Structure 1
Amino acid sequence: MTEIARKHLAYCWIARGDRVLFLRRGPGVFLAGRWEPPGGTVEPGEAFEAAAAREVAEETGLRVRVTGELARDSWPDVGGRALEIHAFVYTVEEDGSGAVVLNPEEHDDFAWLAPRDARRLEMAEHFRRLL
């Protein structure tokens, strides 16, 4: 029997007023062109909340502090590998309200959108469920 590995992802719901930050994945990366909240892979031994804040800093230059868990979801690997994905979405507070500075190796655009407007974006189904 094949053992299924697990991958953990941590994302942040960064709100400014009634708008939330979404990033578009850049060309040449997995799921290119799709939108998502800032976040990514939890490294081995890393706390999920710490991973969420680290990923935000790496992807946007923003500094955040996790304030709670908004949602969690799981799904099988979209590539068909024996891998189960577990994602956590955290609410956060910004340390200041700096400008978004994208990491061009991962994302090529960003938008502050009301969740109802974000539904029009091309995004993975697990993020669409969040909206």
Structure 2
Amino acid sequence: MTEIAQKHLAYCWIARGDRVLFLRRGPGVFLAGRWELPGGTAEPGERFEDTATREAAEETGLTVRVTGELARDAWPDVAGRALHIHAFVYTVEEEGAGEVVLNPEEHDDFAWLTRAQARELPLPDHFRRLLDR
């Protein structure tokens, strides 16, 4: 029997008023052209809350702190690998309202969107489920 590996992702729900920060994945990366929340893969032994804040800083240049857990989701790997994905989405507060500075190796655009606007974008299924809650 094949062992199924586990991958843990953590994301930030960075809101300014009724708008939330979404990033578009750049050309040449997995799921290029799709929009997502700032976040990424947890390092071994890293707390998921720490993953979320680290990834937000790396991907947007914003400094945030976790204020709560918004959602959890899980699904089998979309590429068919023996891998199960677990995602955590955290509400955060910005430490100052800084300017978004993207990491061009990962993302090529960003937008502050309402839930309705975000629903119109090409999103991975787990983000669509989050918006439809």
TM-score (norm 1): 0.99
Coordinate RMSD, CA, aligned:
0.4
Q: Give the Cα separation in 1 of the matches to 2:69 and 2:50.
A: 13
- Structure 2 residue 77 is matched with structure 1 residue 94: no
Residue in 2 aligned with 1:54? 54
Q: Give the Cα separation in 2 of the matches to 1:128 and 1:112.
A: 16
Residue in 1 aligned with 2:124? 124
- Which runs of no fewer than 5 residues in structure 1 stay unpaired? none
- Superposed, 1:1-131 pairs within 5 Å as 1-131=1-131
Q: Give the Cα separation in 1 of the matches to 2:18 and 2:80.
A: 37
Q: Give the Cα separation in 2 of the matches to 1:121 and 1:66.
A: 26
Deviations 1:3-44 (A, max 9, x none): 110000000000000000000000000000000000000000
TM-score (norm 2): 0.98
Deviations 1:43-79 (A, max 9, x none): 0010000000000000000000000000010000011
Partner-residue secondary structure (3-state), 1:130: helix
- Which runs of no fewer than 5 residues in structure 2 stay unpaired? none
> Residue type matched to 1:27 in 2?
P
Give the total of aligned pairs.
131
Partner-residue secondary structure (3-state), 2:62: coil
Q: Give the Cα separation in 2 of the matches to 1:51 and 1:59.
A: 12
| Runs of 4+ deviating beyond 2 Å | none
Aligned identity (percent) is 82
